[in-house]
Amino acid sequence: MEFPDGLKYSKEHEWVLVEDKAAIIGITEYAQHELGDIVYVELPEVGEKVVKDDPFAAVESVKAVSDVYAPVSGKVLEINDALPESPETINEDPYGDGWMIKVEMTDMDDLKDLMSAEEYAEYIEQQKGADEEEEEEEDEEEEDEKEKK
């Protein structure tokens, strides 16, 4: 899974590309993979305020709705107009054409809470690792049981 170096990452799986006081925001490769086929995106309007850790958008798979949380506070400068027509772009290119909004940050300190690519990759591994270890143990148990039979 790819986590580009120049970006900052949140625990809720959003990425941020910082350009001076502006921040471009999207969801990570991991997030789009977990969601599955994205079929609908709801974005805020230009001029709206987004608040750090509050939902600012919704993405929907065929199965479910997920909130997208603002990694920083600010005012929406631009939205990705193409997404409502082709939401699958988020699956195909989460760090490029699948970007969601661009905001003017109100507090640059918000960025301090975000992770680097390396830290985020580690964070994902920890989360996945915990699950997989447990599952592998279980698998071995099951295989053992089968052999006994």
Partner 1 sequence: MNAPATLQVQKLKRTPLYLVHRRLGAKLVEFAGWEMPVQYRGVIEEHLAVRGRAGLFDVSHMGEVEVRGRGALDLCQMLTANDLSRLQHGQAQYNLLLNEQGGIIDDVVIYPLEADHILICVNASNTDKDFDWIKKRSGGSAEVENTSSHYIQLALQGPLAEKILQRLTRLRLEVIKPFHFLFGEVGGIHSLVARTGYTGEDGFEIFCDPTQGQKLWGALMDAGSEHGLQPAGLGARDTLRLESAFPLYGHELDDSTTPLESRLEWVVKFSKGNFLGREDLLRQKQQGVQRKLVGLEMSEPGIARSHYPILKQGERLGDVTSGTKSPTLGRAIALGYVRAEHAAVGNSVEVEIRDRRVGARIVPLPFYRRQPVEVKAKGGE
| Site for partner 1, rule CB under 8 A | 36-37, 39-40, 42, 58, 60-65, 84, 135, 139, 142-143
Give the shortest CB-46-to-partner 1 separation in angstroms. 17
Report residue 58 CA to chain centroid gap: 12
* Edge-to-edge order in the sheet of strand 55-61: 38-42, 55-61, 65-69
Give the shortest CB-134-to-partner 1 separation in angstroms. 12
Identify which of 130, 116, 136, 121 has the alpha carbon closest to the alpha carbon of residue 30: 121
Give the shortest CB-103-to-partner 1 separation in angstroms. 20
Q: CB-wise, 5 or 47, nearer to partner 1?
A: 47
Q: CB-wise, 73 or 91, nearer to partner 1?
A: 91
| CB neighbourhood size of 26 (10 A) | 25
Taking the CA atoms of 58, 36, 122 and 140 in sequence, report the sign of the dihedral they define.
positive
Q: CB-wise, 122 or 135, nearer to partner 1?
A: 135
Give the shortest CB-55-to-partner 1 separation in angstroms. 9
Q: Tell me 102's DSSP state.
A: E
Q: CB-wise, 43 or 105, nearer to partner 1?
A: 43
The Cα 59–Cα 39 span in angstroms is: 8
